[in-house]
Structure 1
Amino acid sequence: MPINQATNTPVDVPRGLAGVVVTDTELGDVRGLEGFYHYRQYSAVELARSRGFEDVWHLMVHGELPDAGQRAAFAGRTAELRRLPDDVRAALPAIAEATGHSGPLAGLRTALSLLGASLEFRPLYDIDAGLRRADALAACAAVPTLLTALYRLGQGLEPVEPREDLAYAANYLYMLTGSEPDVACARAIEQYLISTIDHGFNASTFTARVIASTGADVAACLVGAVGALSGPLHGGAPSRALDTLDAIGTPDRIDPWIRERVLAGGRIMGFGHPVYRTADPRSRMLRDIARQFGGPMVDFAVEVERQVEQILAELKPGRELHTNVEFYAGVVMELCGLPREMFTPTFAAARVVGWSGNILEQAEDSKIIRPAARYVGPGAPVAVPHLA
């Protein structure tokens, strides 16, 4: 538990630090009661609908949306950083083989550590803001290249080298598939990526900031964040939400399947959020994108959403439980041809930008994050028994 600095006594806080304010930030906020979130002063959903990924990346790193000249310069600079150092590229087959059963996200942890060493990232504590920003940009630009290469190697395919003439999302899809993506799919994935860049002090973002508060290098901070994101209660839900649609199968099975699951105390993946008490704005936006594609899968997802919310309102009265970002994220990524094992890695390809913004902001504060815990074990001290 935290310590009251004035009295040097512990202060009780909610489990999971729910609602506890631990620092100030200029990067954005989530207003759960309103169903609204923003990046700096702009609605995140509006940014996803009207701007490109590089624009929002520039906003998170430099504090402002770029003009046309700044956009071109920033896009060109980050595109140049997509290519991996030779020693990192050479190590990827071994990493992919060693982590094959766990997937590209597990491999990313190792690859990021190697990238930081290869590029000679130094501790945040020892470098100025300019060098910190340069390290963060290099790491962010390399993450899609690492993820897609690890995936393809795991499938027995050769990695696809990045193209500097493609935007961030289009290049990601190109490196994943080896083909230039359909314009509509590239834009849909770009909007998804923008919508998930940052989202308050979620578990992975807070992890990145805790590590940054120690003065560690950018790669170390990102590796910790990736580890947090890999948990099924955080970033692992998009494919699981789609698995729910598969398990239900047909419209006539929605009601009995959901009722049985809820009454047994099970969780419906893709529904509910620890912050939002109304509809998740990211889910609403992604539902609109899915409807633009149309088709039986989208119609089924919309019907599942309708019935699940109705059943949850009946069985859990007084609780607002709606679809979260993972539900329609899975639908959109499936429609655009992404393999399910790349759903959470794709989430990481977006969130790395938000992590980096938080790392850079935390690096400006020299105070280490060091909370306390309440000891509830056996009374101490007890005499240590002697060996017979």
Structure 2
Amino acid sequence: MDATRTTPAEVPRGLAGVVVTDTAIGDVRGHEGFYHYRQYSAVELAAERSFEDVWHLLVNGALPDAEESAEFAGRTAALRALPPEVAKALPVIAASGSGSGPLAGLRTALSLFGAARGFAPLYDSDADRRRADTLAASAAVPTLVAALYRLGSGLDPVEPRADLPYAANYLYMLTGEEPGPRHARALERYLISTIDHGFNASTFTARVIASTGADVAACLAGAVGALSGPLHGGAPSRALDTLDAIGSPERIDGWIRERVLAGERIMGFGHPVYRTADPRSVMLRDIARDFGGPLVDFAVQVEGRVEAILAELKPGRELHTNVEFYAGVVMELCGLPREMFTPTFAAARVIGWSANILEQAEDSKIIRPAARYVGEPAPVPLPPAA
């Protein structure tokens, strides 16, 4: 008998609570309402540091000093421009994926980008080459999704500017106008807060692909595919759709009760890990309140009533707003179109995926779980051929 073979173990559906590996990237402590990148509070990082500094922390393992920060920001900004063959293909990708938006186009564009940049399999690359490939891909993702959005809207792409920080450049490429510091910083804090978040579905997907030794582009394209699901990254716009559907304060209670009693999910509420307030939502609510206005006032009112009615109709369950609820509000206030909410999430999460890809590449063991067969007993005789 093979001494390395293990006996299959029964685990919860969805691998809930199952530890599959060790990581030094970060963790989510759901019962405390806390999560961190490396040894630092993610919320504190979003309040105090730049996106580029947190990017450096995730992929290099430490926060940069002032000199390192400037060098890293300059180096990654120089990687934003696309190879000519990728830029030429984007109109075709945007046209063919017009019904499903920039996120679907990003999968194709990432594969093409990896080929154009000559990405090698992780298995055949050293640590420096792997890191270089993740930096190149991560820097290109905002350029790709912004260009795909504009092309899909009948507009010409806007070339990236190396003199603007990550978030400001992203808004510039979407709108063609340099954003004000208030909007740029609000978006930057959102992007930092969503860089990484434990072993979510897209991160786990990236690590599974990385465990096969595939190249960085393959890992990231798979992660984007997982992110496209409405139960993962596809909810920020749906949370705003909920506010639109309710419409006015006097409709809040009736609308919510009808859906909860029908067993429908209220988008933007509840999280598979947090059993208290989602710290990302708390931070984004504060950012939204700084902007103020009717949308923010209505969102806060809806939040309060949803939580009260859920507590009444589902006693004993802790259901609060998750990151998608106020993420949608903040992105709307920053001028992002709703179809760009999830692609914008990807423009942040690509950094977390990259860190996890690099960490997984250090482990030579392929991820290969087992499944329990529940079909007809086998073998049975084959029926006669027709």
- TM-score band (shorter)? over 0.9
For residues 266-281 of structure 1, the aligned pairs below 5 Å read: 266-281=264-279
Task: Report what 1:36 is aligned to.
Answer: 34
Report whether the alignment pairs 1:283 with 2:281. Answer: yes
Partner of 1:227: 225
What per-residue deviation string (whole Å, max 9, x for no partner) do you get for residues 229-250 of structure 1? 0000000000000000000000
Q: After TM superposition, which residue ranges in structure 1, 4 or more long, deviate above 4 angstroms?
A: none
Partner of residue 313 from structure 1, selected from 301, 307, 311: 311
Is the counterpart of residue 145 in structure 1 residue 158 in structure 2? no
Aligned match for 2:256, one of 241, 258, 271: 258
Cα distance change, pair 126–7 in 1 and its aligned pair in 2 (3 A): closer
Q: Match for residue 350 of structure 2?
A: 352
SS in 1 for 2:243: helix
Give the TM-score normalised by structure 1.
Answer: 0.98
Report the alpha carbon displacement of residue 386 of structure 1 after superposing the two structures with TM: 1.2
- Report SS of the residue matched to 2:206: helix
Show CA shifts across 1:154-191 (max 9, x none). Answer: 01000000000000000000000000002111000000
Q: What residue number does 2:188 align with?
A: 190
Aligned counterpart, 1:175: 173
Partner of 1:332: 330
- Quote the offset at 1:7 in angstroms: 7.7
Query: Residues of 2 paired with 1:106 and 1:6: CA distance?
Result: 40
The equivalent of 2:25 in structure 1 is 27
**1:17 paired residue number:** 15
Amino acid at match of 2:112: L
Amino acid at match of 2:50: G
Q: Which amino acid aligns with 1:268?
A: I
Equivalent position of 1:245 in the other structure: 243
The alignment partner of 1:272 has SS state of: coil
Q: 1:212: which partner in 2?
A: 210
In structure 1, runs of 5+ residues without a counterpart are: none
Aligned to 1:104, which of 91, 102, 105?
A: 102
Describe the SS at the equivalent of 2:317: coil
Note the C-alpha offset of 1:60.
Answer: 0.2
Aligned to 2:55: 57
CA shift for structure 1 position 143:
0.2
Tell me the secondary structure at the aligned position of residue 282 of structure 1: helix
Partner residue in 2 for 1:200 = 198
Distance (Å, rounded) in 2 between the aligned partners of 1:311 and 1:346: 31
Deviations 1:200-235 (A, max 9, x none): 000000000000000000000000000000000000
For residue 193 of structure 1, what is the amino acid of its counterpart?
L
Give SS of 2:62's match: coil
Deviation at 1:6, TM superposition (A): 7.9
Map Cα deviations across residues 315-374 of structure 1 (whole Å, 9 max, x no partner). Answer: 000000000000000000011110000000000000000000000000000000000000
Deviation of 1:8 after TM superposition, in Å, equals: 3.2
Structure 2 unaligned residues grouped into runs of 5+: none
**Distance of 2:188 and 2:5 partners within structure 1:** 50
Cα-to-partner distance string for 1:7-30 (whole Å, 9 max, x where unaligned): 832210000000000000000000
| 1: CA distance, partners of 2:281 / 2:4 | 43
Mapped to 2, the partners of 1:254 and 1:281 lie a distance apart of 25
Task: Tell me the SS of whatever aligns to 1:134.
Answer: helix
In the superposition, the TM-score normalised over structure 2's length comes to 0.99
Note the alpha carbon deviations across 1:253-273, whole angstroms, 9 max, x for none. 110000000000000000000
Alignment equivalent of 2:152, drawn from 128, 142, 154: 154
Partner of 2:161: 163
The residue type equivalent to 1:231 in the other structure is G
Q: In the alignment, is residue 90 of structure 1 matched against residue 88 of structure 2?
A: yes
How far, CA to CA, are the matches of 2:218 and 2:309 in structure 1? 44
Alpha-carbon distance in 2 for matches of 1:21, 1:9: 17
Distance 2:191 2:292 in 1: 20
Pairwise CA RMSD: 1.0
Task: Tell me the matched-pair count.
Answer: 385
User: In 2, Cα distance between the equivalents of 1:41 and 1:387?
Assistant: 64
Identity %: 81
Partner Cα separation in structure 2 for residue 63 and residue 383 of structure 1? 58
